[in-house]
Chain A
Amino acid sequence: AQSVAQPEDQVNVAEGNPLTVKCTYSVSGNPYLFWYVQYPNRGLQFLLKYITGDNLVKGSYGFEAEFNKSQTSFHLKKPSALVSDSALYFCAVRDYNAGGTSYGKLTFGQGTILTVHP
């Protein structure tokens, strides 16, 4: 069974400082990793994904994430945080096969509330 862990319920950073939101995963096959963001009273928005290739993935709004296979981690990062980045962040994983046509279940972590202080 696949699983995702986000060890921090909350992350607090000052505006302008770098931020990291942690995620570790467990999956039997090849991992297909995602980060989503949820703003209050809004749906889930896709930030970035890792499938294969370069371990450093760049996504929307200046976010990036680094895939580390040996540590089974996929931490979300941003060099300089903005107050508007304050939201709930979810890491998710699914299996995929070599053809990219996996219909494996998408499993979410428990979420991390990011608060950026002015």
Chain B
Amino acid sequence: SAVISQKPSRDICQRGTSLTIQCQVDSQVTMMFWYRQQPGQSLTLIATANQGSEATYESGFVIDKFPISRPNLTFSTLTVSNMSPEDSSIYLCSVDFRVSSYNEQFFGPGTRLTVL
């Protein structure tokens, strides 16, 4: 399996500011994903990040608002830009990892963001 860590674990931010969330994996992985979980809601995929290429964003999410970096096979960052209270959510990093003959997704502990 893959062990994933995220920093920060939680933060309280002011409206209009930006926060960068880091995701570190203990193994080299090709695919990394960023999810958002709004209060009381399910997980929604923001984007898929492959090393060496631009992230692929899901409908409703744009690069200007959620820029992503993927500088190597074990690390990624997600920035939440120009934050508003509606951005208050848990942000989770996930990786695709080969287990036996199939890929599985493993999740980080999440970053709990509150925007005032």
Contact = CB atoms under 8 A, between A and B. Distances in A.
Q: In which size bucket is the chain A interface?
A: 20 to 34
Contact of A105 (B45, B92, B102, B107): B45
Contact of B105 (A41, A51, A106, A109): A106
Majority secondary structure of chain A interface residues (helix, strand, loop or mixed): loop
- Interface size bracket, B side: 20 to 34
A103 B96 contact: yes
Contact of A108 (B42, B101, B112): B42
Contacts of A96: 102-103
Among A101, A105, A106, A109, residue most surrounded by chain B Cβ atoms (within 10 Å): A106
Interface of A: 32, 34, 36, 41-46, 49, 51, 90, 96, 100-103, 105-106, 108-111
Interface of B: 31, 33, 41-45, 48, 92, 94, 96, 101-110, 112
